[in-house]
Amino acid sequence: MTDRLRIALQKKGRLADDSFELLKKCGLRFAIRGGGLLARVKNMPIDLLLVRDDDIPSFVANDAADIGIVGENVLVEEQLVSREGLDAEITMRLGFSRCKLSLAAPNDGDINNTEQLNGTRIATTYPGVLGNFLKERGISAKSVEMKGAVELAPSIGIAESICDLVSSGATLEANGLSAFETILESEAVLIQSGRKLSADKQALLNKLMSRIDGVIKSSE
Ligand code: PRT
Ligand code: ZN
């Protein structure tokens, strides 16, 4: 690892632009270009590692990055599905990309509460969080893992309900589904492993976090 602070960020997607904007508001000067994996911050000893959001917790845990910005939903999922445990924890809540991981079922169907999930199939891209929730609630249901388009699962007959992220609720509505339970509330978070940083990097991180705090407070 170099002596430049390395921050893992989503390259493209719902978190990316707000993450870049937050760092720019903190005074970091950088340009994101097409295919690059690393972007160099011009005015501070910081590099940005641009990756898929799902990889951010393990990159932070495995020392490929010092810190990362990721959805809490992804952090919790990766912690639950990682067999040997994941050394990545929340250092700071960032207040953007707020959403809920919710259970939802067809408006015109039989399921409208969690107990009714017993003996049914639930489609999700979050098998870890869903499995943990079902276990805690003592519900025996089959989780059907999908990579996307979860909201189509009931209409194509592969599951009776879904467990998916919801923000405005428009996607559920467009697919004739209603949410009946929230299993996780999420927002973007700054994450870090338990490893100790060098004194220089820690001083830089402290400065960055106090600027982030200022940006968040000024936008409230
Ligand atoms: O390519 P990469 O793996 O990096 O990205 P991705 O496709 O896995 O994730 P992306 O960019 O879609 O989302 C990144 C993060 O944004 C998520 O992990 C959440 O932390 C956060 N976020 C906030 C959301 C939403 N809101 C959201 N609404 N992520 C996804 N959605 C989807 C949801 O899955 C559903 O399909 O949007 C649809 C519902 O939106 P509404 O507004 O219709 O309710
Ligand atoms: Zn992803």
| Residue 175 near ligand 1, beta carbon < 6 Å | no
Domains of the chain: 5-97+188-219 (3.40.190.10), 99-186 (3.40.190.10)
- Rounded CA-CA distance 220/218 in Å is 6
Nearest atom within ligand 1 for CA of residue 10: 4
Q: Ligand 1: which residue has its CA nearest to atom 8?
A: 53
Q: How far is the CA of 107 from the centre of ligand 1 (A)?
A: 23
Nearest atom within ligand 1 for CA of residue 171: 43
Nearest atom within ligand 1 for CA of residue 174: 43
| Amino acid, single-letter form, for residue 48 | L
Residue 83 pLDDT:
84
Residue 1 pLDDT:
58
- Rounded CA-CA distance 41/51 in Å is 16
- Rounded CA-CA distance 114/122 in Å is 11
| Residue 165 near ligand 1, beta carbon < 6 Å | yes
- Residues 6 or more apart whose Cβ sits within 8 Å of residue 132: 80
Q: How far is the CA of 197 from the centre of ligand 1 (A)?
A: 31
| Residue 14 near ligand 1, beta carbon < 6 Å | yes
Residue 39 pLDDT:
97
Nearest atom within ligand 1 for CA of residue 150: 36
Main-chain dihedrals φ then ψ at residue 136, nearest 5 degrees: -60, -35
Nearest ligand to the CA of 163 is 1
The one-digit pLDDT tens for each residue of the chain (220 residues) are 568 999 999 999 999 999 999 999 999 999 998 888 999 999 999 999 999 999 999 999 999 999 999 999 999 999 999 988 899 999 999 999 999 999 999 999 999 999 999 999 999 999 999 999 999 999 999 999 999 999 999 999 999 999 999 999 999 999 999 999 999 999 999 999 999 999 999 999 999 999 999 999 998 8
H/E stretch holding 162: strand 161-166
Nearest ligand to the CA of 170 is 1
- Residues 6 or more apart whose Cβ sits within 8 Å of residue 208: 5, 26, 46
